[in-house]
């Protein structure tokens, strides 16, 4: 994720070509992510009804904390995100 930090910044730029690239990624990633989430929910592994775009945005936002803050622990953030998806987690989404 750290290596993709520059890509994330470029995708958020005002450059129209990056907007097209961002839309291209979303058009392909969101449906695949939705299928994976549906399969995991059907298997009872995660909460049903999770939104693929919200999850992808959450994963992308994990990159934000990387920028020079020594207190930021990306691995901990990933563990928290995964725990939040789990059916065994005590709260509903």
Confidence band, pLDDT 50/70/90 cuts, at residue 42: very high
Which pTM does this prediction carry? 0.66
> Does residue 76 lie in a domain region?
yes
User: Cα separation of 86 and 17, whole Å?
Assistant: 37
Confidence band, pLDDT 50/70/90 cuts, at residue 8: low
> Does residue 6 lie in a domain region?
yes
> Does residue 24 lie in a domain region?
yes
Domains of the chain: total: 1
> Does residue 30 lie in a domain region?
yes
Residue 37's domain comprises 2-85
> Does residue 92 lie in a domain region?
no
> Does residue 34 lie in a domain region?
yes
pLDDT in tens, 16-26: 766 787 788 88
> Does residue 40 lie in a domain region?
yes
> What is the model's pLDDT at position 30?
94
Q: What are phi and psi of 86, to 5 degrees?
A: -65, 140
Helix axes 16-42, 52-61, angle to 10 degrees: 120
């Amino acid at each position: 994720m750290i290596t993709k930090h520059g890509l994330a910044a470029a995708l958020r730029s005002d450059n129209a070509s990056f907007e097209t690239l961002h839309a291209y990624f979303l058009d392909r990633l969101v449906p695949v992510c939705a299928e994976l989430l549906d399969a995991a929910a059907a298997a009872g592994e995660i909460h049903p009804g999770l939104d693929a775009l919200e999850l992808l945005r959450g994963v992308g936002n994990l990159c934000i904390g990387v920028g020079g803050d020594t207190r930021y622990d990306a691995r901990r953030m990933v563990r928290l995100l995964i725990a939040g998806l789990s059916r065994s987690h005590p709260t509903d989404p």
